[in-house]
């Protein structure tokens, strides 16, 4: 039996707006001005920049003020946003010399539904109402993980190909009970476990890897005879 946990997030830039500064050091979160639709990604940043060598902890506030941490300073909107959904609250915090500082901000959500979301989930699964992920309403185990049955080769960006750029990315894919991929994002990489900043990957290669994985087809995960939606990690290799 395999116990699965879910994870979150990836990348995109847009027009910025400044959120109100917090009471802690005058920091504020910079993020897109427009309301975001289902599954859209929003890159976040904290201003002014924090001192070098400090890790900023990013999170989304859920029901009952439950905090869900973000792997990267990137927010991904829920896969289903019904009319009347309140804004998402994101926070950024860090500590320096015993003093805690940070900020919070609201991101407006536009009512919408990510194509493929309907019928994606198995019994006991629901989409998060605050970010792009799934939540569990019961103890959740699967007997078999998804098995890849159709791979799509990524389109090698010509500028990288002619320069001989080679790389491997680990892509997290949300595989629906139908076996299709609802969403995907690249797992951040670090040079070593002490490095606070992730490696800045070539965005063209990352996008090509994600685009390919979104077209993959899987035999879905199973809990007994029941198909379930789960996250899986898939390597994508660029080699000449």
CATH number, residue 216: 3.30.2420.10
Across 16-20, 152-156, 217-221, 228-232, least confident range: 16-20
87 shares its domain with 155: no
95 shares its domain with 159: no
Average the pLDDT over 49-71 and give the result: 83
101 shares its domain with 148: no
Predicted confidence band at 18 (pLDDT cuts at 50, 70, 90)? very low
pLDDT of residue 96: 75
Position 28 pLDDT exceeds 50: yes
What is the domain range of residue 45? 16-112
Q: Which DSSP letter does residue 77 get?
A: -
The candidate with the shortest Cα–Cα distance to 160, out of 210, 203, 214, is 203
pLDDT of residue 64: 61
168 shares its domain with 230: yes
Across 8-17, 35-44, 79-88, 227-236, least confident range: 8-17
Residue 28: half-sphere exposure toward Cβ, Cα within 13 Å: 9
Measure the CA angle with vertex 47, ends 46 and 49; round to 5°. 85
CATH number, residue 79: 2.60.40.10
């Amino acid at each position: 039996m395999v116990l699965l946990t879910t994870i979150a997030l990836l990348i995109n830039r847009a027009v910025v707006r400044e959120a109100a500064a917090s009471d802690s050091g005058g920091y504020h979160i910079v993020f897109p001005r427009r309301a975001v639709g289902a599954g859209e990604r929003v890159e976040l940043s904290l201003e002014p920049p924090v001192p070098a060598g400090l890790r900023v902890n990013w999170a989304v506030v859920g029901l009952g003020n439950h905090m869900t941490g973000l792997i990267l300073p990137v927010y991904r909107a829920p896969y289903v946003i019904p009319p009347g959904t309140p804004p998402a609250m994101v926070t950024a915090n860090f500590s320096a010399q015993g003093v805690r500082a940070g900020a919070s901000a609201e991101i407006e959500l536009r009512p919408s539904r990510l194509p493929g979301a309907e019928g994606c989930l198995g019994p006991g699964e629901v989409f998060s109402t605050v970010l792009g992920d799934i939540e569990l309403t019961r103890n959740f185990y699967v007997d078999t993980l998804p098995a890849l049955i159709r791979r799509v080769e990524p389109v090698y960006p010509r500028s990288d190909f002619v320069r001989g750029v080679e790389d491997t990315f680990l892509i997290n894919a949300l595989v629906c009970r139908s076996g299709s991929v609802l969403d995907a994002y690249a797992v951040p990489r670090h040079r070593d476990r002490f490095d606070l900043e992730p490696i800045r990957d070539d965005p063209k290669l990352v996008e090509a890897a994600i685009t390919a994985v979104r077209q993959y087809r899987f035999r879905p995960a199973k809990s007994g005879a029941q198909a379930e939606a789960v996250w899986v990690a898939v390597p994508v290799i660029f080699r000449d």
